[in-house]
Structure 1
Amino acid sequence: MNDDRRGGSRREGQPQRSGQGPRKPAPGRQGTGKPGAGKQGAGKPGAGKQGAGKPGAGKQGAGKPAARRPAAGKAAPARQAPRRPQQPSEPPRDVHVADGVRLQKVLATAGLGSRRACEDLIAGGHVEVDGVIVTELGVRVDPATAVVHVDGLRVQLDQDKITLVLNKPLGVVSTMHDPLGRSTVAELVRDRPERLFHVGRLDADSEGLLLLTNDGELANRLAHPKYEIAKTYVVTVEGALFPRELKQLQYGVELEDGTAQMDKVRVIDEVPGFTMLEVVLHEGRNRIVRRMFEAIDHPVTRLVRTRIGPIVLGDLRVGRTRVLGRVELGTLMGAVDL
């Protein structure tokens, strides 16, 4: 019989019938059958983790090179800033004066407490001499030349220097001698042994706070415009002021010797025909407050100075004086960089 009838062999080119031909290989991990069937097959590009198909498909594929990462548990090295050359520190200046007075005694004489209390201030680093913090108890200084601060406040070591607050009465001239024979502030301090002079001035028609001192350096600095020591006045003027007039006083009023400005101005009280105000300015020109109000047609009927820098008149009676306390004086000296 022919071979095609017996079914023992197939003609060349005839497709093999089901179940009689060679079996298909089972899909394996590295098989070459269906593309992409295995994890590392060579079929569909990118199917495997390390396939050589689509660039970048695997974690470490042959396409775009992956960025190198630091090993697990190791931090990336930090960038270090360039080192600056260290400047040699200067040793503190020696403020010790061999033939001077012990610092704790100087402080006690200045009224800062007992000598033991002053020693505690020094040991605690509260005392500065000529810009140097002193903590040794054996340091000696010259009271006539040393500049001493305690907790930032200047201490007046010269016991011959004194500064007073005077509440100047109405009608008294701010001078120590008047050729016209008018009453002067010298008459109000005639019992003081020091040779005093006034800091600034108040005209005879004005009242209030006036400083008297024999410290020339302090007086010069308080009067110098460089330090802009503010002065506060309570002023009574004629009429009622409009808001635009209050702004004009702060923006500037034209006077015969130039423009003048107030730092602050506020209304305290108003009665029919009069207004009481508080004004602050650091101008030191003669009769400046009166001239500014006259320029806006509100003449001054009463003027009382209540403050100079940190010094307040308070409840000091008219015609009386008081000596500035240590803290008051230190604050005043600090205001003018002493």
Structure 2
Amino acid sequence: MTEERDTEGVRLQKVLANAGVASRRVCEQYIVEGRIRVNGVVVTELGRRIDPAVDIVDVDGTAIQLDSTKRYVMLNKPTGVVSTMKDEQGRPDLRRYTQDFAERLYNVGRLDADTSGLLVLTNDGDLAHVLAHPSFGVTKVYIAKVDGRVTPQVIARLTKGVELEDGPIAADKARLLDASGTTSLVELTLHSGRNRIVRRMMAEVGHPVIELVRRQFGPLHLGTLPAGKARELTTVERGALLTLARRDAPEPTAPRDTASPDS
């Protein structure tokens, strides 16, 4: 069976080149140098054939997307837009940002209507499930403009933990970016996906949120992407996301709901 599959498969260097890793000649060099793994095993034979639909390949430990039918998009969601593909109340939703893609895309997690920033859209249900699964704990970075002048003591309290109505919560990291005038800018890093968690935390410490933006989701950074614009992830970004998902994927224990609440 193995010999038959190898004969019918596609040469590894061709698969890698088609996936945008590098030219076929450079990919052959990577194979010879032992930088390629197939299903976790280093491959150094140039004649190796694989099944792109089944086999898992990584280069220098970074996962490679072999399934060209999967689409991964980054959206800078503006305020006033709800994180759903069809809103029953007729509010602006995400459909306007997915209509240019042939694939049917879905959002990974949510940002409430008053929060802007990085939202991932994909048709990869397995990856979406992993990234939104509570036990996965993907890290998210927010910048909040809040009322009042935040002190170092408040920052320490955020990282130590505050008590909310649904239990205690602590920021993984908290940093004061600015505290001039009557408002402050605070950067919060969290892995919690609890509903409106940033707003509730800041309200608890006496500094209600005025504006909130998510700048980072796992290995993805919003960068200079304008509000209301979407773009496909780069090869490097897709690799980082797939590597993260493959490394820490939990076993599904319940029906998938990738639209879990967020800030």
Return the offset for 1:96. 6.0
Correspondence for 1:152: 61
Alignment CA distance shift 1:260-1:96 (3 Å): same
State the shift of 1:98 in Å.
3.0
Deviations 1:147-195 (A, max 9, x none): 0011111001000001111000110111111000111112122111111
* Structure 2 counterpart of 1:309, from 218, 221, 231: 218
* Aligned CA distance change for structure 1 residues 270 and 238 (closer, same or farther; 3 Å): same
Pairwise mapping of residues 33-112 of structure 1 onto structure 2 (< 5 A)?
Answer: 97-112=6-21
Give, in whole Å, the separation in 2 of the partners of 1:231 and 1:95.
45
What's the offset of the Cα at 1:95?
11
C-alpha distance in structure 2 between counterparts of 1:97 and 1:257, whole Å: 54
Which deviates further from its counterpart, 236-245 or 161-170? 236-245
Residue type of the alignment partner of 2:48: V
The alignment partner of 2:246 has SS state of coil
The 5 A counterparts of 1:230-241 are 230-241=139-150
RMSD of aligned residue pairs (Cα, Å) = 1.7
**Distance in 1 (alpha carbons) for counterparts of 2:117 and 2:4:** 42
Note the alpha carbon deviations across 1:93-121, whole angstroms, 9 max, x for none. 99963321111111111012222222222
Q: Which residue of 1 aligns with 2:241?
A: 332
Instruction: Work out whether 1:268 is the aligned partner of 2:181.
Output: no
Q: Once the 2 structures are TM-superposed, how far is the Cα of residue 242 of structure 1 from its aligned partner?
A: 2.9
Q: Does 1:195 align with 2:90?
A: no
| Counterpart pick for 1:288 among 185, 197, 210 | 197
109-118 or 298-307: bigger deviation: 109-118
Q: Are positions 1:175 and 2:75 aligned together?
A: no
TM-score (norm 2): 0.89
Instruction: Tell me which amino acid in the other structure corresponds to 1:325.
Output: T
User: What are structure 2's unaligned runs of at least 5 residues?
Assistant: 248-263
* AA of the residue aligned to 1:291: R
Residue 126 of structure 2 corresponds to which residue in structure 1?
217
Partner of 1:81: none
> Relative contact order (C-alpha < 8 Å, sep 6+): which is higher?
2
Q: Quote the offset at 1:252 in angstroms.
A: 1.3
Same amino acid, percent of matched pairs: 50
| Equivalent residue, structure 2, for 1:116 | 25
Deviation at 1:225, TM superposition (A): 3.0
Pairing 1:138–2:138 present:
no
Contact kept? 2:116, 2:213, Cα under 8 Å:
yes
User: Structure 1 length normalisation: TM-score?
Assistant: 0.70
1:277 equivalent among 170, 175, 186 = 186
Q: Is this contact kept in 2: 1:149–1:155, CA < 8 A?
A: yes
SS of corresponding position for 1:225: coil
Amino acid at match of 1:297: G
Count of equivalent residues? 246
Question: Which residue of structure 1 lines up, in the alignment, with residue 256 of structure 2?
Answer: none
**What's the secondary structure of 2:22's corresponding residue?**
coil
Rounded to whole Å, the distance in 2 between the matches of 1:117 and 1:246 is 49
1:95/1:141 contact within 8 Å kept: no
Which amino acid in structure 2 is aligned with residue 132 of structure 1? V
Query: As a proportion of its length, which structure holds more helix?
Result: 2
Q: Give the secondary-structure state (helix, strand or coil) at the position aligned to 1:337.
A: helix
Question: In 1, distance between residues paired with 2:100 and 2:131?
Answer: 25
Q: Could you tell me whether the CA contact under 8 Å between 2:145 and 2:185 is conserved in 1?
A: yes
The equivalent residue for 2:206 is 297
Q: What are the superposed Cα offsets for residues 53-90 of structure 1, whole Å, 9 maximum, x if unpaired? A: xxxxxxxxxxxxxxxxxxxxxxxxxxxxxxxxxxxxxx
AA of the residue aligned to 1:174 = S
- The structure with the largest strand share of the pair is 2
